[in-house]
Amino acid sequence: MPNYQALQQDLTDVSQFLIALGDPKRQAIIIRLLEESDCDGLQVSELTEATGLSRPAVSHHLKVLKDAKLIDYRAEGTKNFYYLNHDTTEIVKLKQFLDKVTEIMTTHTK
């Protein structure tokens, strides 16, 4: 029998990550960062062009993505360059949660 309390905790653990992924503007930022093949990062001004958002709005979305451990940044003087975080811990947590849910669903349909 599945441990539903543990499953609930797993869902709680990935909820911030899911919220970060759920917004279309944050999705556009993620896609734009994925397009950056050299991984040097992008400045807020480059992300405003990609999303059509104001600088403060982009900065807000970057904070949400950073808090969810999806992106990071490096500073060069007064300039910040944002890039996708290469630590895939949160992605692995989500994948493990989805694997558990899939297993439960397939077991219940048999």
Task: Give the residue from 77, 54, 1, 64 showing the smallest Cα distance to 27.
Answer: 64
Share of the chain above pLDDT 90, in %: 80
Q: What's the whole-number average pLDDT of the chain? A: 92
**Is residue 109 very low, low, confident or very high in pLDDT (cuts 50, 70, 90)?**
low
What's the confidence (pLDDT) of residue 50? 85
Task: Give the residue from 98, 72, 81 showing the smallest Cα distance to 11.
Answer: 98
Note whether 41 and 77 are within 8 A (CB): no
Q: Is the pLDDT of residue 110 over 70?
A: no
**Is residue 41 very low, low, confident or very high in pLDDT (cuts 50, 70, 90)?**
very high
